[in-house]
């Protein structure tokens, strides 16, 4: 009986260890702006597309300077702040700061990746 209990506890601990809530921090560099043969985006179009995508997803985004937007996402007690740098051909989304996302310098809450990739999908959709 003791052997079974030990085996059960070891299995449970192994399963819990696989449910990590942190992932390596990643910046999303040089994502190409989708171009079609009929639409040629300029920098103002890219800025407008990024801002529209932010609004659709509940991000608070505002231009900081030409080619740079600051994005803030507030969800429950979590806050994520990113810098979105762009030109007419590409954009990058870089981590700036966060609250309650367990950032330790190299890892962050696993939802970070989902939130940013969802924003990227919406930005790309706005550019088509």
CA–CA dist 97, 83 (Å, integer): 9
| Overall number of domains in the chain | 1
Band of residue 33 on the pLDDT scale cut at 50, 70, 90: confident
Per-residue pLDDT reduced to its tens digit, 106-116: 999 999 999 99
Q: Coil, strand or helix: which one is 84?
A: strand
- Residue 108: inside a domain: yes
- Residue 1: inside a domain: no
| % of the chain surpassing 70 pLDDT | 80
What is the separation of C-alpha 45 from the centre of its chain, rounded to a whole number of angstroms? 21
- Residue 38: inside a domain: yes
- Residue 3: inside a domain: no
Per-residue pLDDT reduced to its tens digit, 56-90: 999 999 999 999 999 999 999 999 999 999 999 99
Domain of residue 117, residue span? 22-127
Check which CATH number belongs to the domain holding 123 and give it: 3.30.310.80
CA–CA dist 114, 80 (Å, integer): 12
């Amino acid at each position: 009986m003791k052997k079974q209990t030990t085996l059960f506890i070891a299995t449970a601990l192994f399963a819990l260890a696989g449910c990590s809530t942190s992932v390596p921090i990643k910046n999303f560099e040089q994502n190409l702006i989708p171009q079609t043969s009929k639409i040629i985006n300029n920098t103002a179009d890219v800025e407008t597309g990024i801002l529209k995508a932010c609004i659709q997803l509940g991000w608070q985004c505002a231009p900081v300077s030409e080619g740079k937007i600051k994005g803030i996402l507030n969800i429950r007690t979590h806050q994520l702040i990113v810098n979105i740098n762009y030109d007419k051909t590409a954009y990058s989304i870089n981590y700036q700061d966060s609250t309650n996302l367990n950032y330790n310098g190299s890892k962050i809450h696993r939802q970070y990746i989902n939130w940013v990739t969802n924003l990227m999908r919406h930005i790309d959709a706005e550019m088509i």
